[in-house]
Structure 1
Amino acid sequence: MKLTILGGGGFRVPLVYGALLGDRAEGRVTRVVLHDVDAGRLRAIARVLAEQASGVPDAPEVAFTTDLDEALRGAAFVFSAIRVGGLEGRADDERVALAEGVLGQETVGAGGIAYGLRTVPVAVDIARRVARLAPDAWVINFTNPAGLVTEAMSRHLGDRVIGICDSPVGLGRRIARALGARPREAWIDYVGLNHLGWVRGLRIAGRDELPRLLDDPVLLGSFEEGRLFGADWLRSLGAIPNEYLHYYYFNREAVRAYREAERTRGAFLRDQQARFYAGVADPDVPALELWNRTRAEREATYMAENREAAGAGEREAEDLSGGYEDVALALMRAIARDERATLILNVRNRGTLSPLDADAVIEVPCLVDASGAHPVSVEPLPDHATGLVCAVKAVEREVLAAARSGSRATAVKAFALHPLVDSVNVAHRLVDGYTAVHPGLAYLG
């Protein structure tokens, strides 16, 4: 079975390949094709994968190409993890927004809108090519902003594109661990949009253990979200928010921390990964060893500014192990082998959340089998969460409209309507700033 990875020169590709190396069952992936626009990055990651596969019998064959159509033909699954504009683009997203005093994070607020505006046209082109060249393929989207990009692709691929994210997985794992339970034995009642969701219950053997967690300040202080949001606020919500909601609930503190940081997250990753790729270009450097060291530093510094602003301390060792690759592998297994699984995924709403239309992509638990991912019925969100979800979904729709029409006015509207952008004048200046630094936004007239 052929798996094509778009963004195949990306730093986290070895996580996916490592998961594939551990899959020995019948019907597993036997061929991996890496696609990227940067041949040098492809060669670097191919070196890491070769060292990963050393000594592993029947390791999936790896090929790489810069020809997108060649990469897609014959694929059973397409894993999309592209970054339009690279990490330089991410650093620019952060810089332009922070200069206006608003958040520039890559999936939230102004930065997420800028990233979406330049990514959606590319993702739509990929979706059209998949529909033409590999119509039976399933697309697993990890490209950020994941919910927005999945929805853009679903307009051409329907339910054959499914978005994944490691945030809900990590959150559920941490809550289960705090309660002394095994994550695999817990049912996580999670609902929202990508990077905008809440755990409202965690059932073990049919019993909801979340109230016990919320009533115990010691347990709440034992995991990252408890320290990040604070016990009082979590008890007020009656839920555990996805870590990205810290940008909404503590926006002033987050913006201040990012403005005071020596470098933004994007700039840090840009510089860090430049060193990694330069190092791997040296044939005498052990590629896998360098990748492991670089990854450890990357994971340890994740959302460091937010943790510092909240006094949440360092990340736990157990949270440095990733997770999205396990979701991707479980999703592929469930579809390819009809091994039924329950996973939190980004899929079309289909009436699951009544305030949103059927085609809106949401993030909820899904039952997955050979026919795809099917969202599980969930209880309505409280008013405060419904309002936020509807507001952000409205912004996503304006981004999609701007990408489709090329309308600069619609792009301004997308920025201006976002809850974290506080002025129409700021929205105009953001569009001016982003179009000045991103060639990929030249289509906005």
Structure 2
Amino acid sequence: MKLTIIGGGGFRVPQIFEAISSDGDHARVTELCLFDVSRERLDIINSVLMQLAESLARPPRVTLTTDLDEAITGAQFVFSAMRIGGAEGRIKDERIALDLGVLGQETIGPGGLAYALRTLPHARRLAERVAALAPDAWVINFTNPAGMVTEAMRASLGDRVIGICDTPIGLMRRAVHAVGSTPDAVDFDYVGLNHLGWLRRVSVGGQDLLPGLLASDEALGGIEEARLMGFDWVRALGAIPNEYLYYYYFEREATERIRSSAETRGQFLQRQQSVFYREAHQHPGSALALWNRTKHDRESSYMAESRPEEERDNREESDIDGGGYQTVALDLMSALVNGRESTMILNVANRGNVAELPDEAVIEVACTVGAGGVAPHNVAPVTGDMLGLMQQVKAVEQLTIAASVSRDRALAWRAIAAHPLVDSISVARKLFDTYRAEIPGVAAAFE
């Protein structure tokens, strides 16, 4: 079976390689095809993979290409992990917003919309080429903003594109541990959009254990999201929020922490990964050791701005154990291929699940995956402040997609102005104009 990764020179690719090369009852990949626009990055990542392969049980054959059609042809699965504009684009996404007094973050707020505007044309092209060259392939979308990109790709691929994210899976893992159960024994209700969702029920044997979890300081102490946002707040919600809701619930604090930091997350990653790619290029024999060192630093500092200064570079090991995107993707791929049903949280079409959102809107909910495809679980009604936030952010996402398709600058301005973290129409206009002026990919999207 051929698996293609779009963005095959990306830093996380070795984690996928490790997952698909392990022993176990999972889908067996015989060819891993890496596509990237940079041959140099492909060669560097390939050096890491070849050194990893020496210690792995069943590594697949690895092929490299800078030709998109060659990469897609013959693929049964396509992982989309592109980063249009690279780390430089992310830095500008974040810094331009901060300079105008607005939250600067990769996927949340106007930074996420700038990222989307330069990414959506490439995502639609990828979807069109997959539909033409590998119509039976499944596309698993890692590319952020994942919900928006998945929704745009559905125009060509329909249900054969599925968005994934590891943050709700991590939340579920911590909650299951906190109630002293196992994943197979738990039934749950999780609903939201990508990077905006809530765990509202955790049931074992028909009994909802979430109220007891929320009442216990000891249990909440093992849940990163509760520590980030405060025990009192999650108790007031009656639910455990996805960690990215920190940026909505604590916008002022998050913005100030990011502005007062020596560098943004984008600047940190650019500095860190530039060193990795440069040193690995100069010393290919040490590529794996360099990659392992960089990976640990990257994961331990994830969402550092949400934690107190003394904890920013010391994330608890329990919060980064248990796998990430690669584990979710492999579980999804294996369930589709092997037919053994599995439950996971995915980005899929709404189709009336949340009655107040459009049917074609992509939402993030628990799904059962098997040989027949993906079946979303029905969720309890969404009401009040949770529904309001979902509706507003989904409206922003759909305005952004429409602006990209039609190359309509007014719609793009409206999208930014409608975002709940942008408090001024004039600031929204300045954001859009500055993104177009300083980020070539955003300007190109409207030519």
Distance 2:399 2:137 in 1: 29
Greater mean alpha carbon deviation, residues 279-288 or residues 409-418: 279-288
Q: Corresponding residue for 1:195? A: 195
CA contact (8 A) 1:214 1:234 kept: yes
After superposition, where does 1:5-16 map in structure 2 within 5 Å?
5-16=5-16
Distance 2:55 2:355 in 1: 52
Task: Show structure 2 runs of 5+ residues with no match.
Answer: none
CA contact (8 A) 2:47 2:284 kept: no
After superposition, where does 1:142-181 map in structure 2 within 5 Å?
142-181=142-181
Instruction: Quickly say closer, same or farther: Cα 1:59–1:384, change in 2 above 3 A.
Output: same
CA contact (8 A) 1:224 1:315 kept: no
Q: Kindly indicate whether residue 89 of structure 2 is the aligned counterpart of residue 89 of structure 1.
A: yes
Q: Corresponding residue for 1:444? A: 446
Distance 2:27 2:386 in 1: 41
Instruction: Quickly say closer, same or farther: Cα 1:313–1:34, change in 2 above 3 A.
Output: closer
Q: Corresponding residue for 2:335? A: 334
Q: Corresponding residue for 2:302? A: 302
SS across alignment from 2:29: coil
Greater mean alpha carbon deviation, residues 273-282 or residues 190-199: 273-282
TM-score by length of 1: 0.97
CA contact (8 A) 1:228 1:312 kept: no
Q: Kindly indicate whether residue 369 of structure 2 is the aligned counterpart of residue 368 of structure 1.
A: yes
Greater mean alpha carbon deviation, residues 44-53 or residues 1-10: 44-53
SS across alignment from 2:103: coil
Distance 2:25 2:342 in 1: 16
SS across alignment from 2:62: strand
Distance 2:171 2:27 in 1: 31
Report how many aligned residue pairs link the two structures: 445
Distance 1:23 1:78 in 2: 22
Q: Kindly indicate whether residue 300 of structure 2 is the aligned counterpart of residue 282 of structure 1.
A: no
Q: Kindly indicate whether residue 362 of structure 2 is the aligned counterpart of residue 388 of structure 1.
A: no
Distance 2:368 2:76 in 1: 20
- CA positional deviation for 1:39: 0.8
CA contact (8 A) 1:227 1:312 kept: no
After superposition, what is the alpha-carbon deviation per residue over 1:391-419, rounded to whole angstroms, capped at 9, x for unaligned?
A: 00000011001101111111110100000
CA contact (8 A) 2:27 2:330 kept: no
- CA positional deviation for 1:24: 4.6
- CA positional deviation for 1:55: 4.5
Query: Match for 1:416: what amino acid?
Result: A
Q: Kindly indicate whether residue 213 of structure 2 is the aligned counterpart of residue 213 of structure 1.
A: yes
Q: Corresponding residue for 1:407? A: 408
Query: Match for 2:100: what amino acid?
Result: E
Query: Match for 2:169: what amino acid?
Result: V
Query: Match for 2:254: what amino acid?
Result: A
Distance 2:281 2:426 in 1: 46
Task: Show structure 1 runs of 5+ residues with no match.
Answer: none
Distance 1:56 1:17 in 2: 9
Query: Match for 1:332: what amino acid?
Result: M
- CA positional deviation for 1:284: 5.3
Query: Match for 2:413: what amino acid?
Result: V
Query: Match for 1:245: what amino acid?
Result: L
- CA positional deviation for 1:58: 4.0
SS across alignment from 2:11: coil
TM-score by length of 2: 0.96
After superposition, what is the alpha-carbon deviation per residue over 1:417-440, rounded to whole angstroms, capped at 9, x for unaligned?
A: 000000000000001110111111
SS across alignment from 2:199: strand
Q: Corresponding residue for 1:185? A: 185
Distance 1:233 1:239 in 2: 9
> Following superposition, which runs of at least 4 residues in structure 1 exceed 6 angstroms of deviation?
309-313
Instruction: Quickly say closer, same or farther: Cα 1:435–1:369, change in 2 above 3 A.
Output: same
- CA positional deviation for 1:362: 0.3
Query: Match for 1:74: what amino acid?
Result: G
CA contact (8 A) 2:202 2:209 kept: yes
After superposition, where does 1:219-238 map in structure 2 within 5 Å?
219-238=219-238
Q: Corresponding residue for 1:33? A: 33
Q: Corresponding residue for 1:54? A: 54
Greater mean alpha carbon deviation, residues 320-329 or residues 128-137: 320-329
After superposition, what is the alpha-carbon deviation per residue over 1:76-100, rounded to whole angstroms, capped at 9, x for unaligned?
A: 0000000000011001100000001
CA contact (8 A) 1:150 1:346 kept: yes
After superposition, where does 1:247-286 map in structure 2 within 5 Å?
247-283=247-283, 285-286=285-286
Query: Match for 2:299: what amino acid?
Result: E
SS across alignment from 1:190: strand
Query: Match for 1:68: what amino acid?
Result: L
- CA positional deviation for 1:283: 3.5
